[in-house]
């Protein structure tokens, strides 16, 4: 039984150490990726700030248009409701327009 326990310990200890090392490596990789992403976003923000200081109206309009281009494909339908109106007025059906453009 002692030999069996020693055998099992000799099998399990290296496996556990390998698993621990794998988890540590994954965590270090994740941390490095997060730091690099943060540096990249900082550099992008600083470049955008320089542009904004140069021509603020153009940069503001460009940022607005880029944001709308990113958001609008995810919107299904826009409805406009007024106080005296009986039912909602479909103002924009983005999903149908997008499907028609892709055909």
Asked whether residue 85 carries a pLDDT value surpassing 90, the answer given is no
Residues 6+ apart with CB under 8 A from 73: 94, 98
Give the pLDDT of residue 41. Answer: 97
Residue 103 clears pLDDT 50, i.e. is over it: no
Helix ranges, the chain (H): 2-54, 56-71, 94-102
Residue 89: band (very low, low, confident or very high) from pLDDT cuts 50, 70, 90: low
Question: How far is 51 from 68, CA to CA, in rounded Å?
Answer: 20
| Residue-level pLDDT at 17 | 95
Could you give phi then psi for residue 76, rounded to 5 degrees? -80, -55
Q: Reply yes or no on whether the pLDDT at 40 is more than 90.
A: yes
Higher pLDDT among residues 99 and 27, named by residue: 27
Helix (H/G/I), strand (E/B), else coil: 84:
coil
Count of Cβ atoms closer than 10 Å to residue 95 Cβ: 14
């Amino acid at each position: 039984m002692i030999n069996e326990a020693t055998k099992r310990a000799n099998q399990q200890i290296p496996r556990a150490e390998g698993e621990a090392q794998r988890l540590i490596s994954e965590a270090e990789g994740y941390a490095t990726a997060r730091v690099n992403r943060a540096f990249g976003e900082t550099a992008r923000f600083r470049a955008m700030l320089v542009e904004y200081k140069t021509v603020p109206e153009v940069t503001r309009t460009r940022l607005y248009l880029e944001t709308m281009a990113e958001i609008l494909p995810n919107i299904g339908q826009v409805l406009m409701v007024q106080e005296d109106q009986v039912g909602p007025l479909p103002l924009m059906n983005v999903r149908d327009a997008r499907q028609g453009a892709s055909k």
